[in-house]
Structure formats: structure tokens, C-alpha cells
Amino acid sequence: MPAPRLRPAAALALVAALAALGLGPAATPAAAATVPVGAGSHSDTRPPGTSGPTTNTGAPVTPKVTAAAQGRPVPTNDWWSSLAFQRYGDNPYSTPMYGHPLTYQATAAGLDVGYPTSPAVVGEGRQYEYAHKRDLTIGLTGLNAPDTKVDGWSDWTVTPYWSDGARTLRTTIGHGMPFVYARGTGGDARVTTAGTPAVFADQGNVLGITVAGHHYALFAPTGADWNIAGSTLTAGLAGKDYFSVAVLPSPEALATFRTYAYSFVTGSTVNWSSSQGTVRATYTLSTEAKEGTERGTLQALYRHQWLHTTDALTPYTYVSPRGTMKVRAAASFTTAQKAAPVLPALPRAAGTDTARLRGYLGEVVNSADPFSGAVDTYWTGKALGKLAQLVPVADQIGEGAVRDRLLGLIKGRLQEWFTAGGASEFSYDRVWKTLTGYPASYGSDTELNDHHFHYGYYVYAAAIVAQYDPGWAADSAWGGMVKTLVRDTANPSRTDAAYPFLRGFDVYAGHSWASGHQGFAAGNNQESSSESTNLSAALVLWGAATGDVGLRDLGTYLLTTEGEAIAQYWFDADQQVFPASFGHDTAGMVWGSGAAYATWWTANPEEIHGINVLPVTGGSLHLGGHKEAVRRNLAEMERENGGPAVEWRDLLWEFRSLADPAAAKAQWDAGHAAYTPEAGESRAHTYHWITTLDTLGAPDPAVTADLPTAAVFTKGTTRTYAAHNHGSTARTVTFSDGRTLSVPARSTATATGPGSTDPDPQPPPGNTFQLRSGGTLTTATGGTEGADVLLSAQGANHDGTPYRPLVYEARGVHAALRPGAATAFRLQVDAGTAVGLGQQARVSYDLTGDGTFERTETYHYFATDPVTGWEDYTAARGLKSATGTLGDLRGGTVRLEVWSAIGNGDSRLRTGADRSVVVIPYG
């Protein structure tokens, strides 16, 4: 069910309590102009001459909700927000909404429903879309409503409401829901189809039809009967007020869907946790049995979800703009992912010349205007971010005066914005329950766009200040205003009367949306996914610096989830999402209906690619988890650009360094003398970033840590472990490969080597196995390089089941299990120029060598590119499935199987020379 509404008295009590803590607007009279928050304040009336939310004609607009939803903070920036935000004055219903697999649009007669399955490529090949096209309309006989309102919502479901005075209709729709659940009064159930339907099943109250090649089932209450009159289908409700409609994967699925047709979804909730380097999220639908006792349901999982769940899935699938959706028959499922790392800055490295870096820092702090004339929320934010990136860098090289000068600049500008009444301030809108910064920009005021983009920079800068000045960040000082920005953009509370739950982040879609009103034919959109993750990384750093573990772990959940969504839906990392007809490896913008190789303001390829990279910070390391996607991305940029980057070269050098640090360093060496830094960048930060990764190597996603502010880098066979401890006492950080690192209070520490204790120990004996041609796993190093042939999958799908595998074994292994450790591997594979191949690995453990494997781990396959050259397939792809339990090895066997999961061609697996290795979780 939707999150419970607070009674007015309880709501006022909550608001007053929050205000007392410096966390939000107090229950002050409407005439009050300033709301104190700690040492700062915001206004509760807009500055003269400014606007709040409006229609496209400039008329003020209020949330379009029913009496039942009055007073609840409306979640703008969602996939369905056009139901509540009437951006276009002549449309009181909605624009198309993309729930996936179904699409929707509210009209006077009810809810139009479609299931687009064929993509169109438009805009000279720059955009693909599965555009909404009506298959049928769900309504009531005679319904002709003057508008549609929102009656309720939960984490990813919404209930639109229609009333024409004589009839009322409510439908519950949501992401991943193949069903539309309807409740109506004053008329019979009515479904009108876009063309004459073909009936494939008529079971009285259950009807199966095919419309435009799509199969639907209509479920009326027991005792009712569907009447067919051309394209109009009606059914009396037999004294009840409910019916449902489902899109079917095939006509044969009707019986399964009938089982769940009367288990009505009443709400949706995600719960998350972050522990020991793993982020877990459970997605649950609450249901009500309208008939019988069935309380389960069917949910379609997006690719970023089913890649990371071991929960059982049905054979049913759907088409979507995000690739194949897979169906689960249950009211909940759980995902588990390796946590995305965040650092306040990359650690100090020997390859960075201190004198040169000192000179670059001076360029920034000694400039006439370090804020480059910024006055609005966005450009001020970028300037704050640029300065904040340099604070830890200056500190690393002992430049305390520069560090403090930077901190002073940041504090001064934040405090200006965090104090009402000046030229820049934040204003709380009591109607829309949002905090808007003025001067505003890019529709952050009139359309409620981009708050997460803008405010993420403020939170990030405040987190860096908090790292060095905890007193400044106290609630009684300036931290209260920082938390107020967090509540506006990423509020973890569902019962806060002042701000909605996670305004910008769509928990089921796995990423944020930029438009506050969602008033487009293509649904909602998001361009700069990286500015969205900038907010998530800022939450990690702010939570860590202020001791707010809940907020820190929220940031980790958001960053980890969105990081995978970005890889799949912006960068098509596995090459399984974008339709072949699209012809691009990268999307600059993701829409509800698809994606576009574009930005809002330019067709320049550098900016199309760079907009999903900036700002580059210690929260950008997740982009290095799919290195081949980074290479494809940059190769496409250079093809489209007619050569290397010219305008945003610094951002793209930094992006390249996440996959190929030496190549990025070579580009810096060749081009640093004559380039203009991007507005949120500086030579100091770019030089530090590129030279550090050139020294340490690229991020290693295979290894995680039990602290969110830790990361691992690998160069050749050497790992560098880094962690920042925001706490006031020293702590030991444990990495998933067994390494431990002692980190002093309020410090960053590093160590190298694949060991397990600090400082710089040797690796546990027998922990790392090299592959040798002929089927051997050995702990010996220095073998002769070779390659084994991975035979073709012969055009069939062998995902999860070994097919003509290469098998490598080590026998007679004695080793003790390391608690909390996990299997890791790096397998170098090459598909040559073959298209559409994917290699898969399974690691099995026979604990006693008796021929019975007590533990088997199957990993998601790796989609190779059609470019000759070795690619790294690592355990970071994640577990597809696992059976059994690990224990100590006592003369046991470790087995690796590698095969072609998909494709119609042979590929190669590199052996010898320590290039392909398996690391077992043993000492």
C-alpha cells in the first residue's frame, strides 16, 4: 500500500521536531519569511521576481492529487510525474508514462495501455525508442472524466484516479508490473481495443485476446462475463468493484497469470543494506487477495536486477527499452552487488611531481575569481566541486595554507547560499514541498528539474569541509542546511511531512530522472548520469564524515545501483540493451522510451560522451568496472569526432585512465600544454588524477572492502589498497581478498601487494592459481604464455550450463577458509573480430577430493567485443548462481570451467605468463 499518511497533528509534531534539530522548516506561521536551520536559514517565500512551478505558459501550477493524497509530499522527478504536474495547460490527464513492460497514458475515458516491442530509430539514427502506442484503454462504461489525479503512490507504483461525478476509476500501475489493477464504481468494466481483437480464450470472467500482435488477459470477478462487441469489451462486476488486465508473454501463459489476477498490488517498498563490501536490496510488493487466498504476484525484473539476483525466475520474458526483462513469481526479490567504492580523493602516488602539482594548485587559489562568475545553483555548484576536489590533494603534499584557503572559499560561498535574504538563497515551497535555490537555472524552479544535479555539488563540497572541520558540519552550525538539501533530493524517510522519499531516484529503474514534471512524449529523461552519482558519492562522504552511517549506506546503495544501471543503459556494457539498428555504443541521454546519442544543448560528440563522466571525483571509480565499455565509448567518440577530443579532453583523459592509465598519461603528456580545462575541472586535479592512476593502475572492481571509503587499484600483478578513515580513532580495513590495512584516524592509508596483513606482507600460500594450457591450475608463476580455444556455442544459449568447456584443476589442495572472503578471477579472453560472443566461468570446490563438489559458483557471462585484443573477464561480473557451502580444503580439488555461453564462433582464453588467474578465498 502507499506509505501511510501522517495525521495533521502528527505531521506538525514531526516538522517541529525536525526544526528543533536544525533539519527543516519549522511549523511557523505562513507569514514567516525566514526559517532558521542551525547557523543558517532558508526562506519560505520566493524572492521577488522569481517563479515556482508553472505550466508551459507560465501559469502557477499545484499538485494534481485527490483529497486522500492531500498533504503528502508529491514525488516529482518520477516516471509518472505528469499525472501530478500539469506542465501543459491543455492536458489535464498525463503524457505517456513508461512503466515497462507496459506503457500508459491517462485520458478522459481511462487508462491507455501499450506494450511496444519494436524499436524505431529516429533523429538521423541518433535516438532509439519503444514509443507508447495504445493497444487498449481500461475504463468504465460512460466514463468521461475532466481530469486525472493521483490518489496514492509508493516506491515504484502509482494509483491514478478518474471521476466524472457519476463514475470513479482507480488503477494501480508500476514498474515491472504486467498487470493493471482496476477498481471502479458507477459503471461496468470496459476495455476498448485499438483494433478488433482476436479472442484466443473465453472462460466467462476471463478473456484472452490478441491486439496488434500483443497478448492480453482480462479478468473480471467470479460470476461476471465479458461481452464482446467489435473493439469494445465490457463486463458487469457481479456486485464487486474490481477487475484486472495483464499483458501476457504468450497465450500459453494465461493459466499462470490467472493464478495471480486477483492478488492486487497495493504498494511497493525497497529496503537496502550495505555490509562487508556487499550492497543488498530487497524489492517487495504488498498485495491484497480480492478473491481466494493467493497473495503472490508476478514481477518483471530489469537487466540490472536479474544480473544480480540468485532468486528463482520463470521462463517468461518481456521486451523493454532496457533489454530483456525476466519474470519472477513472488512478491519480492533480492539483489546483491559489490559495493561501489568512494574516496575523498585518489591517494598520493610517487608518479605525481609535487612541485608541478603545487604550481597547478596555485593557478586555482590565486585566480582573480575562483568561482568564474557563477551566480546560479548549477554553476556555483560546479565551482564548489572544482575547489573541493583540490582540498585533499593540497593536504597530501603538505600545502596546508592552500588547503585552508580552498576550505575558506568553499565555506564562504556555502554560507552565503545557506543564509536567507541575500543575493543567493534557498527557498522552501510549501505547496510542492521542495527546496529551490535562487538564482535558479535549467528549470530547477519552474519545472523542478535537476535538483540532484545541482545540490550534489553542494553536499560534496560540504562533505570535504566536514572532513577537515567537523564543527562546521554540526547540525547546530551549517550541517543542518546540508541535511535539508539532502532531504530535498535524496530523503530516506517515507514519513517526512516536508519532503518526498528519494525525490529524484527511481529505485526500480535503478537510476534518477531529471525532469520534475515528466511532460514528454518519450517519458522522463536523464542526461548526466554522472552528476546524479555525484550526489550519491557525496552522501557517502558526508555520512562518513559526520558519523551518519544510515546516510552513508544510502549513498552506497544509490551509487552501486545507479552505477550498474549506467553501465547497462548508458554504456551498453554487455552489448545486450541497445537495438542493433541504433548503431551507437553510447547514449548521452536515457528516456523512458529508449535512449539518444545526444545532449540537450549540443551534438558535439565530446560533450555527448563527457556529460556522463563529469565531475570526475573519488566517486567515479565505479566507471572502471567495465573497462571494455570505456574503450568502446572513447573509440566511438573519436570516430564521431573525427579524431581525439579537443574541448573536453581533460574529462575524457580522466575517463580513459579508468581503463588504460598509461594511454591516458600519454595523451596528457602530448596535450597538456595547450588546453582549456572544463568548467568543473582544473589542471591540478587532472594532473593528479592521471599521474596517480598511471602509478597505481586502474580501479580493480573484483576486490571490495568492509569500509565504503576504500578502493583497490591494479597495475600488472600488483594491487594497491587505499582507504580513508573519517573516524576519530584508528581502524583496520579488511578487503575481500583477505588483505587488511591499518588506517590512522582522519587519514588515508595505502599499501601494495596481494597480501593479507599490513604492512606489505606476502600473499597467503596457495591462494592464487595460474592457468596453464592442458588443464592445470598451479600456484607457480612465470609460465610460458599460450592460449586455449573456447569452442563456439554454435548459435545456442548455454547461459549457466557448461557446453564443451575448457576445464582446469588443482588437486590435493590444503587450505583454511578465510571468513568473509570470496572467489576472484581474471580471465583474459579474445573473440577476435567475431560479433556476439560471450564466455562464462564456473568455479567448483571439492573439499576432500572425493569427487563430490560441495560448492559450485557460476558467474554471469562476459560479452566480448569484436575487436582483436585481450579483454579481462573478472568475478566482478557477479554470481549468476551458487550452490553449497565452502569449508576448509583438506586434500581438495579446485576446478575452473570456461565455455562459450552464447555466439556462433570460437574465441581464445589466455594461459601462462600469469595473465589469467583464479584467487580462492583461502589462506
Active-site positions?
A: 450, 527, 531
CA–CA dist 664, 146 (Å, integer):
59
Secondary structure of residue 216 in the 3-state scheme: strand
Strand partners, 900: 839
Please provide residue 359's backbone torsions phi and psi, each rounded to the nearest 5 degrees: -65, -40
The arrangement of strands across the sheet holding 278-289 comes to 263-275, 278-289, 332-338
Instruction: Give burial (CB, 10 Å; 0-12/13-18/19+) of 819.
Output: exposed
How is residue 3 written as a grid cell?
Answer: 506509505
H or E stretch at 828: strand 824-830
**Which runs of E-coded beta strand occur in 409-487?**
425-429, 434-438
Burial code of 327-350, b = ≥16 C-beta within 10 A, e = fewer?
Answer: bbeebbbebebbbbbbbbbbbbbe
CA distances from 795 to 63, 146, 457, 577, 832 (A): 53, 54, 48, 19, 17
**Which runs of E-coded beta strand occur in 276-343?**
278-289, 298-301, 317-318, 325-329, 332-338
CA–CA dist 487, 437 (Å, integer):
14
The arrangement of strands across the sheet holding 525-526 comes to 120-122, 127-129, 594-596, 589-591, 525-526
Q: In this structure, are strands 263-275 and 242-248 parallel, antiparallel, or unpaired?
A: unpaired
Whether the upstream peptide bond of residue 615 has omega within 30° of 0, thus cis, is yes
CA distances from 829 to 225, 863, 866, 911, 914 (A): 59, 10, 12, 10, 14
Quickly tell me which residue has 544510515 as its cell: 550
CA–CA dist 226, 110 (Å, integer):
18
* 384: nearest Cα among 485, 498, 476: 485
Please provide residue 862's backbone torsions phi and psi, each rounded to the nearest 5 degrees: -115, 120
* 538: nearest Cα among 590, 503, 490: 490
Whether the upstream peptide bond of residue 96 has omega within 30° of 0, thus cis, is no
Q: Show Cβ contacts of residue 558 under 8 Å, excluding neighbours closer than 6 positions.
A: 490, 505, 533, 535, 536, 539
H or E stretch at 86: none
Q: In this structure, are strands 786-790 and 862-863 parallel, antiparallel, or unpaired?
A: unpaired
Nearest 5°: CA angle at 576, between 574 and 578? 115
Q: Show Cβ contacts of residue 670 under 8 Å, excluding neighbours closer than 6 positions.
A: none
The amino acid that residue 403 corresponds to is R
How is residue 766 written as a grid cell?
Answer: 596457495
